[in-house]
Amino acid sequence: MSEAREEFVSEAEDLLRETEDGLLDLQETLSKGCNPDVLNGVFRSIHTLKGLSGLFGQRGILDLSHAMETMLDELRLGQRELTEATIAFLLKNLDILKKLLGEIFKEGKELTSVDAALEEIGKFRDEGKGREKEVKNEPGCLTGIPEEITKVLSEYEEHRLRTALKKELCLVTVEAEFELVSFEEDLKGLIEKINQLGELIATIPKTLGVLPGRIGFDLLVALNTSLSKAKEALKLWSVNELVPSPPEPETTSSILPAVNIPTKPGEEIIQEPLLKSGSSTVRVDIGKIDAILDTVGELMLAKGAVSRIGAEISETFGFGPFSVDLQKVSRILEKRLEELQNQILEIRMVPVRQVFSRLNRVVRRYTRDKGKEIDLQLFGGETEVDKLMAEEIIDPLMHMMRNAIDHGIEPAEERLAAGKPVTGVITLKAFPKGNHVVFQLTDDGYGIQPEKVLAKAREKKLIAENQTLDHDGIVKLIFLPGFSTASSVNDVSGRGVGMDVVKEKVSSLGGFIDVETEPGCKTTFTVTIPITLAIIKAVLVSTAGETMAVPMASTSETLSIEPDMIQHIEGKEVIELRGKMLPIVRLAEMFWLYHDRPRERYFVVVVGFGGRRIGLLVDSLLGQQEIVVKPLGERLEKIKGISGAAEIGKYKVILVLDVESLMEEAMLSSQTIKADSDGLGA
Amino acid sequence: MSEDQPVLGSQPSAFFSEADEDYEYEEYEEEGGSSCEKIKILVFRIGDEDYAVRMTDLQEILKMHEITTIPRAPRHLMGITSLRGKVIPVIDPRIRLKVETVDSSEPRIIVLSGEGCPVGIKVDRITGMFMIKPEEIMPSLNTLTDEESRFIDSVVRVEHRFVSILNLDAILEI
């Protein structure tokens, strides 16, 4: 993809995200009336998108964003009423824009025609026409407003003014004067204060009576608060009442922030001029960060060589001053490289809020389609996770979310019958835990019914007829491939996939998933994923001549054992670990590798957590190392048991084990599940 | 990193300075009219047979790298190797083409820009680059079974030898 196009896609993506956030915000606050600032923001984003797409010759996006802009313009000018239906309609068109953008990203050009969408917008606007006139022909009641103000107002400003008058808000003008050099920042500060007191309708530059080197403004403001409060907060400037509001009791609890404004006289005027731009962020292609990581990875290898040479020198020539120096330097090098690596990893971090806002949108739309009332509560949006991780985890979370709406939360009447509030509650919590991020998704719905799950599993022959399982074991059956409790395949949570796909995805990210349920009460899914996949600590092991890496995150300890410590229980190999049985899996056998004659000593890498642990039997341990994990690429993504590859030493590529899926396989092999014979899955 | 440099990368001319003088591809160029009607192909040996790919599909040619085998992968997938930090799969075409190696003294990995990500295939020897005309391309042998012909797109005569042009989609499928 060309650089220009890449830039276009990334900028357009941001704009669409802003638009979406804005529309969602409007949707949420619609009952409290339409927030003009947010609506304006949405209008501006779409307007910018229009300009951008015109610049890059993306016809479809240009046409569609133009049509949407027209609609938004009518909305913000009050020529059309903002309704739930309008927002939904705009969101729908936003989806088309997203789709087009996706096509540009993947295929290099727009594939979908926007003709249908344009026609629909036309129709939608026509339908609203009747109402439009009615709103427009409202008698103008700009009484009390001096003509020198009304004549310079734009159509939009006039509309806001009328709205304010209709609401009988107190209208004032604030006269302000600033030094010419710093007026932009100063004006911004004033506007921020005003925004806490009410709505800024217009900023009109003053032409008369301003000293040279200074600039003056009249700011037309509709106050949400009382005049005296506003005068107090803005006492640096003269506040003139234009239209008084009807007297009201002094209840100002809702505008608390206005009170905390610094009120030292003269302070604002002697403020240092701030000429630099407010934002200090840069947008970087993640590929560039990856390239730096690769270089650091290579530096790490070079550092390894330096310390090895240092060790060799001391071994051969004894500890001379040079070899001591060399070791010292190599330690410093190591430390700095680690710092560098950590700093790069930090750059890649994004707050999971980004994930949340995307989930939020789909959920709200989806619940409306489903006619269920759901309160989605999101916590821990500030938790940070690697950008790529964030992208990868969205789908699994989305899927679980839809499952919760579809199969978790009961229909309203059932909830009432069960004595629950009509509105279902879904909470999604994110929090860091060591080198992991935990996502906890809870719904207060049906819960998982063990009997149903068991019956289904038997019916689908996922378990043997006579097999008995405890509660947890039964509930975990939902993660088995081929299990899906949905009786109907709908377009959202159905799509022919079930929790097994979620589990597989999570495990391919080096994470794990767990479920807890209280039937009739709630279900909690816990997804734990590493904060980053880019660099991990791993134990390097060797078996049957192959070197492989086991991520430290899933390793609890390593043991050295002699062959006679291995016992057999029901044909399975186990060893004793602190009085408990630990099932052993020979990695070489599992991977169909030839192993030469039996050894006198083996090593066991204990993987997994809590009650779910197994030991991977290997020939030797090669030590611990930080590795840069590379994905195997889409052509190899179906290979099971391997989550990626890493380069160690010169051109030596080793495989990184997907511990979760290996454990799964080891455990399933004792059940009646057919083993994947070709290792490539379906 | 010197070992890692592609033998043939972005500048094909570097490769031809090394190549045998015998392959007078220029001769072909003079025969026909404008060069845009011609197709450039890379001819190489797998076993005792000649195969070719279109130059437009070629990304680069590597000297033999160490290849990491992948457990439980299909037999034709030799494994993976690192191409300047990116993991690429390497395919051993001999299994699919049912040929046996006779002389592999100059093995190379030719990296083809397949759909999505590059894939390497191991060849025994690079013969060289040739220009062919579209009308010289013939359908492959009709006595081949479906399974055999799946990997062959067409046949062309180069230097009095028949060369099979590989069907990349099929051969690169994993």
pLDDT over 90 for what percent of chain B?
A: 26
Q: Is A641 on the interface with B (CB under 8 A)?
A: yes
**Per-residue pLDDT, A669:** 62
Q: Which residue of A has its CA nearest to B81?
A: A653
Q: Do A521 and A372 fall within a single domain?
A: yes
From A546, A651, A655, residue closest to B82, measured CB to CB: A651
Which of B71, B82, B61 has the alpha carbon at shortest distance from B8? B61
Amino acid code (one letter) for A236: L
Regarding whether A562 and A427 lie in a shared domain, the answer is no
pLDDT tens-digit series, residues A334-372 = 888 888 888 888 888 888 988 888 888 778 877 877 778
Q: Is B69 on the interface with A (CB under 8 A)?
A: yes
Q: If we measure between CA atoms, which residue out of A504, A503, A529 comes closest to residue A515? A: A503
A442 and A378 fall within a common domain:
yes
CB contact under 8 A, B174 and A635: yes
User: Nearest CA of chain B to the CA of A311: how many Å?
Assistant: 24
Measured CA angle at A462 (ends A461, A467), to 5 deg: 90
Report, in this order, helix, strand and coil percent for chain A, each rounded to 5.
Answer: 45, 25, 30
In this prediction, residue A670 carries a pLDDT of 52
Are A653 and B88 in contact (CB < 8 Å)?
no
Which residue among B65, B74, B85 places its CB closest to the CB of A294? B85
* Pick from B65, B86, B89: CB nearest A635: B89
Indicate whether A111 and A192 sit together in one domain. no
Please list every residue in chain A whose beta carbon sits closer than 8 Å to the beta carbon of residue B80: 632, 636, 645, 653, 655
- Round the average pLDDT of chain A to a whole number and report it: 79
| A78 inside 8 A of chain B by CB | no
Closest Cβ–Cβ partner in A546, A632, A634 for B80: A632
Q: Tell me: the pLDDT tens digits for A240-276?
A: 777 776 554 444 444 344 444 444 444 444 444 444 4
Residue B12 has pLDDT above 50, yes or no: no
Q: Looking at the partner chain, which of B4, B70, B86 has a beta carbon nearest the beta carbon of A639?
A: B70
- Does one domain contain both A18 and A99? yes
Q: What is the pLDDT of residue A374?
A: 87
Domain harbouring B150, CATH code: 2.40.50.180
Contact list, B72 vs chain A (CB under 8 Å): 591-592, 639-641, 678-680
Q: Which residues of A487-505 are buried (b: 16+ CB within 10 A; e: fewer)?
A: eeeeebbbeeebbbbbbbb
pLDDT at A258: 40
Looking at A195, A218, A248, the residue that finishes a domain is A248
A585 shares a domain with A612: yes
Residue A544: closest C-alpha in chain B:
B71
A491 φ/ψ angles, rounded to the nearest 5 degrees = -80, -10
Assess B119–A contact: CB distance below 8 Å, yes or no: yes
CATH number at residue A475: 3.30.565.10
Q: Which residues of chain B does A666 touch, with a Cβ-Cβ cutoff of 8 Å?
A: none
A259 lies in some domain: no
Report mean pLDDT in 10-residue bins for chain A, 682 residues: 75 86 84 80 86 82 88 82 84 88 83 84 74 46 68 77 78 81 79 82 76 79 80 77 60 41 43 48 81 80 79 81 82 87 84 87 79 87 88 88 85 87 91 85 87 81 76 81 56 54 82 86 89 82 90 88 88 88 89 78 86 88 84 79 81 86 76 36 35
Its pTM stands at: 0.50
Question: Which residues of chain A are within 8 Å of residue B87 when distances are taken between CB atoms?
Answer: 630-633, 644-645, 653
Q: How many domains does chain A have?
A: 5
Chain A residues touching residue B74 (CB < 8 angstroms): 678-680
- Structural domain of B127: 2-172
Give me the pLDDT at residue B11, please: 38
Check if the beta carbon of residue A75 is closer than 8 Å to that of residue A86: yes
**What residues of A are in contact with residue B3 (Cβ under 8 Å)?**
651
Assigned token pair, A76? 């913000």
Please name every residue paired with B108 in a beta bridge, in sequence order, or none if there are none. B63, B123
Q: Is residue A312 part of a domain?
A: yes
Residue A623 lies in a domain: yes
**Is there a domain that residue A131 lies in?**
yes
A 597-636 residues with CB below 8 A of B? 630-636
pLDDT confidence bin for B32, thresholds 50/70/90:
very low
Facing residue for A651 by CB, picked from B65, B87, B117 = B65
Q: Within a domain: residue A192? A: yes
- Of A193, A215, A248, which residue constitutes the final position of a domain? A248
A600 and A647 both lie in a single domain? yes
Per-residue confidence (pLDDT) for residue A531, from 0 to 100:
83
- pLDDT given for residue B36 in this prediction: 56
**Would the CB atoms of A592 and B117 count as touching at under 8 Å?**
no
- Token code pair at residue A236: 């640096």
Whether residues B81 and A653 touch (CB distance < 8 A) is answered with yes
Partners of A639 on chain B (C-beta within 8 Å) are 70, 72-73
Q: Please tell me which of the candidates A630, A631, A655 has its beta carbon nearest to residue B70.
A: A655
Q: Between A321-347 and A286-317, two packed helices, what is the crossing angle to 10 degrees?
A: 160
Within 8 A of B114 by CB-CB distance, chain A residues are 635
Distance CA A481, CA A664 (A): 11
Q: Could you tell me where the beta strands, DSSP code E, fall in A211-265?
A: 214-223, 238-243
Is A622 in the same domain as A588?
yes
Residues A113, A9, single domain; the answer is yes
Query: Residue A57's domain is classified under what CATH number?
Result: 1.20.120.160
Check if B174 contacts A (Cβ < 8 Å): yes
Whether the per-residue pLDDT at B5 is higher than 70: the answer is no
Give how far A590 is from chain B: nearest CA, Å: 9
In this structure, is residue A680 part of a structural domain? no
Residues of chain B with Cβ-Cβ distance to A651 below 8 Å are 3-4, 65-66, 81-82
* Cross-chain Cβ contact B87/A640 below 8 Å: no
Determine whether A538 is exposed, middle or buried from the number of CB atoms within 10 Å of its CB (0-12, 13-18, 19+). buried
Which residues does A290 contact at the CB level (< 8 Å), separation at least 6? A534
Q: How crowded is the C-beta side of A217, counted as CA atoms within 13 Å?
A: 20
Range of the domain at A38: 3-136
